[in-house]
Amino acid sequence: MRVGILALQGDVSEHLVAMRNAMGKMKIGGEVIEVKRKDELKDLDSLVIPGGESTAIGKLIAKYGIDSEIKNLAKKGIPIMGTCAGLVLVAKEGDEEVAKTGQPLLGLMDIKVKRNAFGRQRESFEADLEIGVLGKEPYHTVFIRAPAIDKTGKGVDVLARFEDKVVMARQRNLLAVAFHPELTSDSRLHEYFLGMGNEDSR
Ligand code: GLN
Protein backbone atom coordinates (compact mmCIF):
# COMPACT_ATOMS: atom_id res chain seq x y z
CA MET A 1 0.00 0.00 0.00
CA ARG A 2 1.20 3.47 -0.87
CA VAL A 3 -0.09 6.29 1.31
CA GLY A 4 0.76 9.89 0.44
CA ILE A 5 0.90 12.83 2.81
CA LEU A 6 0.57 16.11 0.91
CA ALA A 7 3.79 17.83 1.92
CA LEU A 8 3.36 21.48 0.99
CA GLN A 9 2.96 23.03 4.44
CA GLY A 10 1.70 22.05 7.89
CA ASP A 11 1.62 18.88 9.99
CA VAL A 12 3.32 16.60 7.50
CA SER A 13 5.82 14.69 9.63
CA GLU A 14 3.24 14.12 12.38
CA HIS A 15 0.91 12.45 9.88
CA LEU A 16 3.78 10.33 8.54
CA VAL A 17 4.49 8.99 12.01
CA ALA A 18 0.81 8.47 12.89
CA MET A 19 0.09 6.70 9.60
CA ARG A 20 3.13 4.40 9.89
CA ASN A 21 2.06 3.58 13.41
CA ALA A 22 -1.50 2.75 12.28
CA MET A 23 -0.24 0.61 9.40
CA GLY A 24 2.03 -1.26 11.80
CA LYS A 25 -0.88 -1.92 14.14
CA MET A 26 -3.06 -3.17 11.28
CA LYS A 27 -0.17 -5.16 9.82
CA ILE A 28 -0.51 -3.43 6.49
CA GLY A 29 2.66 -3.51 4.43
CA GLY A 30 3.74 -0.64 2.21
CA GLU A 31 5.00 2.88 2.54
CA VAL A 32 3.95 6.30 3.68
CA ILE A 33 5.54 9.03 1.59
CA GLU A 34 5.57 12.81 1.30
CA VAL A 35 4.08 13.94 -1.99
CA LYS A 36 3.87 17.27 -3.72
CA ARG A 37 4.56 16.78 -7.43
CA LYS A 38 2.16 15.47 -10.04
CA ASP A 39 4.07 12.27 -10.71
CA GLU A 40 4.24 11.49 -6.99
CA LEU A 41 0.46 11.71 -6.70
CA LYS A 42 -0.32 9.29 -9.50
CA ASP A 43 -0.02 5.84 -7.95
CA LEU A 44 -1.30 6.46 -4.46
CA ASP A 45 -3.73 4.20 -2.64
CA SER A 46 -4.74 7.00 -0.30
CA LEU A 47 -3.89 10.63 0.41
CA VAL A 48 -3.86 12.88 3.48
CA ILE A 49 -4.18 16.66 3.25
CA PRO A 50 -2.82 17.82 6.62
CA GLY A 51 -3.58 20.73 8.90
CA GLY A 52 -1.60 23.93 8.63
CA GLU A 53 -2.74 27.08 6.89
CA SER A 54 -5.31 26.44 4.21
CA THR A 55 -4.53 29.67 2.36
CA ALA A 56 -0.86 28.68 2.09
CA ILE A 57 -1.57 25.07 1.15
CA GLY A 58 -4.17 26.22 -1.40
CA LYS A 59 -1.69 28.59 -3.03
CA LEU A 60 0.97 25.89 -3.18
CA ILE A 61 -1.49 23.40 -4.71
CA ALA A 62 -2.07 25.96 -7.46
CA LYS A 63 1.66 26.67 -7.79
CA TYR A 64 2.50 22.99 -8.19
CA GLY A 65 -0.46 22.59 -10.56
CA ILE A 66 -1.73 19.50 -8.76
CA ASP A 67 -5.37 20.38 -8.13
CA SER A 68 -6.60 18.36 -11.08
CA GLU A 69 -4.45 15.39 -10.03
CA ILE A 70 -6.00 15.44 -6.54
CA LYS A 71 -9.49 15.75 -8.04
CA ASN A 72 -8.74 12.74 -10.27
CA LEU A 73 -7.75 10.66 -7.24
CA ALA A 74 -11.02 11.61 -5.53
CA LYS A 75 -13.02 10.67 -8.63
CA LYS A 76 -11.24 7.33 -8.88
CA GLY A 77 -12.45 6.52 -5.37
CA ILE A 78 -9.03 6.78 -3.70
CA PRO A 79 -9.56 7.57 0.02
CA ILE A 80 -8.63 11.16 0.84
CA MET A 81 -8.60 12.60 4.36
CA GLY A 82 -8.44 16.35 4.99
CA THR A 83 -7.64 17.36 8.55
CA CYS A 84 -8.18 20.92 9.84
CA ALA A 85 -6.80 23.12 7.03
CA GLY A 86 -7.18 20.02 4.86
CA LEU A 87 -10.89 19.95 5.70
CA VAL A 88 -11.19 23.54 4.45
CA LEU A 89 -9.54 22.54 1.18
CA VAL A 90 -11.69 19.49 0.44
CA ALA A 91 -14.93 21.45 0.90
CA LYS A 92 -17.14 22.51 -2.00
CA GLU A 93 -18.26 25.70 -0.35
CA GLY A 94 -16.63 28.20 2.01
CA ASP A 95 -17.85 30.97 4.29
CA GLU A 96 -17.20 34.74 4.11
CA GLU A 97 -13.69 34.25 5.42
CA VAL A 98 -12.84 31.90 2.60
CA ALA A 99 -14.37 34.35 0.14
CA LYS A 100 -12.37 37.22 1.66
CA THR A 101 -9.05 35.47 1.17
CA GLY A 102 -10.04 34.30 -2.29
CA GLN A 103 -8.41 30.95 -1.55
CA PRO A 104 -9.24 28.25 -4.06
CA LEU A 105 -10.92 25.14 -2.65
CA LEU A 106 -10.56 21.68 -4.15
CA GLY A 107 -14.32 21.18 -3.83
CA LEU A 108 -14.20 17.41 -3.42
CA MET A 109 -16.81 17.04 -0.72
CA ASP A 110 -20.37 18.24 -0.53
CA ILE A 111 -19.89 20.29 2.63
CA LYS A 112 -19.85 23.97 3.51
CA VAL A 113 -16.96 24.92 5.77
CA LYS A 114 -16.68 27.69 8.32
CA ARG A 115 -13.06 28.66 8.88
CA ASN A 116 -11.88 29.39 12.43
CA ALA A 117 -15.33 28.36 13.60
CA PHE A 118 -14.56 28.33 17.32
CA GLY A 119 -13.62 31.98 17.64
CA ARG A 120 -10.96 33.67 19.70
CA GLN A 121 -11.81 32.31 23.11
CA ARG A 122 -11.49 28.80 21.87
CA GLU A 123 -8.59 29.15 19.44
CA SER A 124 -7.11 25.91 20.75
CA PHE A 125 -8.68 23.32 23.02
CA GLU A 126 -8.88 19.61 23.64
CA ALA A 127 -11.93 17.45 24.20
CA ASP A 128 -12.93 13.81 24.52
CA LEU A 129 -15.51 13.01 21.87
CA GLU A 130 -17.74 10.06 21.24
CA ILE A 131 -17.04 8.94 17.71
CA GLY A 132 -19.11 5.85 16.97
CA VAL A 133 -17.03 4.61 14.03
CA LEU A 134 -13.93 4.55 16.26
CA GLY A 135 -15.50 2.39 18.95
CA LYS A 136 -16.91 2.92 22.43
CA GLU A 137 -13.84 4.49 24.04
CA PRO A 138 -13.96 8.33 23.72
CA TYR A 139 -11.41 9.77 21.32
CA HIS A 140 -9.20 12.61 22.56
CA THR A 141 -9.21 15.49 20.11
CA VAL A 142 -6.98 18.54 19.68
CA PHE A 143 -8.50 21.58 17.98
CA ILE A 144 -6.23 24.40 16.77
CA ARG A 145 -7.98 27.36 15.14
CA ALA A 146 -10.22 24.69 13.76
CA PRO A 147 -12.88 24.92 11.10
CA ALA A 148 -16.30 23.28 11.41
CA ILE A 149 -18.72 21.89 8.90
CA ASP A 150 -21.69 24.22 8.54
CA LYS A 151 -23.76 22.30 6.03
CA THR A 152 -23.66 18.79 4.65
CA GLY A 153 -25.07 17.56 1.35
CA LYS A 154 -27.06 14.40 0.72
CA GLY A 155 -24.37 11.75 0.56
CA VAL A 156 -22.48 13.03 3.59
CA ASP A 157 -22.50 11.14 6.90
CA VAL A 158 -21.84 13.11 10.07
CA LEU A 159 -19.40 11.09 12.20
CA ALA A 160 -18.73 13.46 15.10
CA ARG A 161 -19.95 16.64 16.70
CA PHE A 162 -18.48 18.97 19.29
CA GLU A 163 -21.35 20.75 21.02
CA ASP A 164 -23.56 21.92 18.16
CA LYS A 165 -20.87 21.76 15.48
CA VAL A 166 -20.09 19.00 13.00
CA VAL A 167 -16.37 18.22 13.28
CA MET A 168 -16.01 14.97 11.32
CA ALA A 169 -17.87 13.75 8.26
CA ARG A 170 -17.54 11.28 5.45
CA GLN A 171 -18.75 11.13 1.88
CA ARG A 172 -17.86 7.78 0.26
CA ASN A 173 -14.06 7.82 -0.07
CA LEU A 174 -13.64 11.27 1.45
CA LEU A 175 -13.09 12.00 5.13
CA ALA A 176 -13.10 15.48 6.66
CA VAL A 177 -11.78 16.01 10.19
CA ALA A 178 -11.75 19.41 11.93
CA PHE A 179 -9.25 18.44 14.64
CA HIS A 180 -5.72 17.00 14.59
CA PRO A 181 -5.64 13.18 14.85
CA GLU A 182 -1.90 13.24 14.10
CA LEU A 183 -1.13 15.02 17.39
CA THR A 184 -2.21 12.25 19.74
CA SER A 185 -0.92 8.71 20.02
CA ASP A 186 -4.36 7.12 19.60
CA SER A 187 -4.15 5.59 16.12
CA ARG A 188 -7.83 4.69 15.76
CA LEU A 189 -8.72 7.48 13.38
CA HIS A 190 -5.82 6.74 11.03
CA GLU A 191 -6.77 3.06 11.22
CA TYR A 192 -10.37 3.90 10.30
CA PHE A 193 -9.12 5.91 7.34
CA LEU A 194 -6.87 3.07 6.17
CA GLY A 195 -9.84 0.72 6.43
CA MET A 196 -11.84 2.92 4.04
CA GLY A 197 -9.69 1.58 1.21
CA ASN A 198 -10.83 -1.97 1.86
CA GLU A 199 -14.57 -1.49 1.90
CA ASP A 200 -16.40 -2.76 -1.17
CA SER A 201 -18.60 0.19 -1.95
CA ARG A 202 -20.76 2.67 -0.16
N1 GLN B 1 -7.38 28.04 10.63
C2 GLN B 1 -6.57 27.30 9.71
C3 GLN B 1 -7.04 27.47 8.28
O4 GLN B 1 -8.16 27.80 8.04
C5 GLN B 1 -6.53 25.84 10.02
C6 GLN B 1 -5.78 25.60 11.30
C7 GLN B 1 -5.12 24.27 11.36
O8 GLN B 1 -5.00 23.53 10.38
N9 GLN B 1 -4.62 23.96 12.52
O10 GLN B 1 -6.26 27.23 7.40
Q: Is residue 106 part of a domain?
A: yes
| Ligand 1 nearest atom to the CA of residue 52, by list position | 8
Number of domains in the chain: 1
Q: What is the pLDDT of residues 114-142, one digit of tens each?
A: 999 998 778 899 999 999 999 999 999 99
Ligand 1 near 86 CB (within 6 A): no
| Ligand 1 nearest atom to the CA of residue 53, by list position | 10
Q: Is residue 172 part of a domain?
A: yes
Ligand 1 near 54 CB (within 6 A): yes
Q: What is the pLDDT of residues 53-65, one digit of tens each?
A: 999 999 999 999 9
Q: What is the CATH number of the domain that holds 97?
A: 3.40.50.880
pLDDT of residue 199: 79
Catalytic residues: 84, 180, 182
Q: Is residue 201 part of a domain?
A: no
Ligand 1 near 114 CB (within 6 A): no
SS (H, E, C) the chain: CEEEEECCCCCHHHHHHHHHHHHHHHCCCCEEEEECCHHHHCCCCEEEECCCCHHHHHHHHHHHCCHHHHHHHHHHCCCEEEECHHHHHHEEECCHHHHHHCCCCCCCEEEEEECCCCCCCCCEEEEEECCHHHCCCCEEEEEECCCEEEEECCCCEEEEEECCEEEEEEECCEEEECCCHHHCCCCHHHHHHHHHCCCCCC
Domain with 173 in it? 2-196
